[in-house]
A and B are shown apart, each in its own frame.
Chain A
């Protein structure tokens, strides 16, 4: 049971749970900051194979950006009370999320096919590990989306503050994993020849 204590004397209106989510996001940022710094430190030490990033990753980047947009639109439909749009866009987001994970998998296979295997050199190992851990975070988001979908289809449509809050938590997290991927993708692009 979350301790949802309303405190009307407070001036800031951010809900404690949303705040907690952002603290958690800060720690995920540190984790990926560590990964990408490790990448740079290791690269500077030499013995580093260069290879070109497979094009599939462009596709997955497009898909996850699109999914952020559909989720945002679904949230707006939820607020405006347009039930069918809200449900449809939420479903689309889930589909795009799953597609993203599938495309990442295709990307890893393309890398293996071109000889950049998991163990051949840290330059490719890093990409598998970093994008893999990112994909795990996306799967966490997908789990949250599934819960949101169950809410959407099982419960009667009623935009109560409590449900809006839960939905917001999902939306914030999803946008975060999206932006995180864009950062990682640009990082890899800049590093590869």
Chain B
């Protein structure tokens, strides 16, 4: 049996070579690019690379760095929330003056720094990890490989995209060491806390560096997005029409469109904020008293900032989740050995979600004093998003249903994603009703909602992608046993962390309070629940350490790949050599003959995209 599959695989490989030779597309690439001059030394190979595969890895590793930073910050503030009486003096060597040790030798987290921690945790996870680390990594790695292109439309702008992200990272990181601390007004940076340097400690230099970092980040996102869109539309190989593209590509493409249209709006908003901060304008500031002093600002509107912020902010959550959805669709189909159910419905629902994401932003502002009649409009569109979301969930389940599912780390994380997306999506429907939101707004219910549906779910999509494409990135496999421990621990642990928050939130425990549990009598009965959450969070953190160790260990010592196409997948990235060089394919680019999802078809387990249609065979890609 093993012998037989081996023969089958060998013959597919020779078939692929033969077909590419006969029908592939010859762009004379290698005649122009002699001897890989771009990758001739260490610096140009690993650091200032313009190769999309290396840039993808750079995004990934920077993302992992920030994920660890963000996670460690969350441990510190979770300790404060779960064990407000505990002695944190042992953290003094790391946090320095932010741990105040009293006469009795008991160390306490500085409340000011607690706010800084939640702010920077939110900012870096939303933007640096789940946007740059997720979409940056996989758009870069997969767009050229899966559409059959040599590289991005502009490899140079692509490298700039990474380097602007790197600059943003450096500035944000340095802001952690300011004597007044990093910005502390929440990841949404609402004025007046963000607009008045004297408003709080972090509002001074911390906020200035936050703005600079975000401006670099926006430039990075725009350069990346412009490149992704252009590449998808212009550099597809022969035969790869839009309806033959894998769902990953559709997802990255739609994500990039959302980004290119919404990030500039944030840039406008932040620019006006900068003028309010340093030039004395009052776009967002009206009559205001700080520390007993009346400021001479008149007529500005803080709500205006919220509109501009959430016009990006809501699309941003879909910028985070759509790539994860694309990855999950692909990974589920490959490991279920079944065509994705409802391919077109998958694409159309992503387009619908993208469109709707631009007209629901005010559901974050129901309680900010916007006109309740205008709220109704946003309630309706918000609830309509549940429809395309449900279509996607239905299709994932139908894809898996009745299949010969291969349970491995990648596919388990993809399944976990579906579970989390359902759980978190359901609570969104509660929040989307402006009347229920009166009770739930700014409570732990919102924290639970977005961590499950966005935070953890997007991480699961990212993990599914990493385990699945690790062989393509590094030519080796990650360890499966550790991967499964990572999966089960993280799934159970994350639910243990975030599920209870729904209850504290419904009871009204506000988010962003230094000691909401301890200083309000009505919340005192949540003390043990809060301790439970904190312990679960610590366990989940150590499971991520298992992942990181597995990741870096496997880069150098993982089991080596022996075939080009270890998962038996149909997409083009698996037709490149095990370690593809500059230009991805050594000779011609394979031509595409069919869609990406012919699994278990006509007696064959999988029919790759380069195999021509047989007589009378139906092509889905039309």
Contacts and interface: CB of A to CB of B under 8 A. Distances in A.
Interface of A: 1-3, 5-7, 9-10, 14, 16-17, 19-20, 23-24, 26-28, 30-35, 37-38, 41-42, 45-48, 118-119, 121-122, 125-126, 129, 133
Interface in B463-483: none
A121 B264 contact: no
B283 A38 contact: yes
A26 to B, nearest CB: 6
A168 B300 CA distance: 42
B272 A38 contact: yes
A1 B226 contact: no
8 contacts: A3-B153, A34-B311, A37-B307, A38-B307, A45-B301, A47-B299, A122-B283, A129-B275
Interface string B284-321: 00100000000000111101100110010000000000
Nearest to A121: B299
B511 interface: no
A42 B271 CA distance: 16
| Residue with the highest number of chain B CB atoms closer than 10 Å, among A6, A31, A122 | A122
Contact of B222 (A27, A48, A119): A27
Nearest to B238: A9
B261 A16 contact: no
A1 B36 CA distance: 13
Nearest 3 Cβ contacts at the A-B interface: A47-B299, A31-B264, A34-B268
The secondary-structure label for the interface of chain A is: helix
B298 A24 contact: no
A125 B268 contact: no
B226 A24 contact: yes
A49 to B, nearest CB: 9
Contacts of B268: 31-32, 34-35, 38
B281 A118 contact: yes
B234 A16 contact: yes
B238 A2 contact: no
Interface of B: 25, 27, 29, 50, 149-157, 222, 225-227, 229-231, 233-235, 238, 260-265, 267-269, 271-272, 275, 279-283, 286, 298-301, 303-304, 307-308, 311
A16 B153 contact: yes
B299 A122 contact: yes
Contacts of B25: 7, 9
Contacts of A30: 260-262, 264-265
A119 B298 CA distance: 10
Nearest to B265: A34
Contact of A5 (B227, B235, B281, B303): B235
Nearest to A24: B226
A33 to B, nearest CB: 8
A2 B230 CA distance: 12
Contacts of A19: 153, 230, 233-234
Contacts of A3: 149-155, 235
A25 to B, nearest CB: 10
Given A5-B235, A118-B281, A20 B227 contact: yes
Contacts of A27: 222, 225-226, 260-261, 263-264
Contact of A34 (B156, B260, B279, B308): B308
A32 B308 CA distance: 12
Given A9-B238, A10-B234, 11 more contacts: A7-B234, A17-B154, A23-B225, A23-B226, A24-B226, A27-B264, A30-B261, A30-B265, A33-B265, A34-B269, A122-B281
Contacts of A121: 282, 298-299
A23 B265 contact: no
B235 A23 contact: no
Contacts of A9: 25, 238
A135 to B, nearest CB: 14
A14 B153 CA distance: 13
Contact of B304 (A26, A41, A48, A133): A41
A37 B307 CA distance: 10
Contacts of A125: 275, 281-283
A16 B230 contact: yes
A30 B233 CA distance: 21
A7 B235 contact: yes
A5 B150 contact: yes
Contact of B264 (A34, A47, A48): A34
Q: Which of B238, B264, B304 has the most CB of A within 10 A?
A: B264
B242 to A, nearest CB: 12
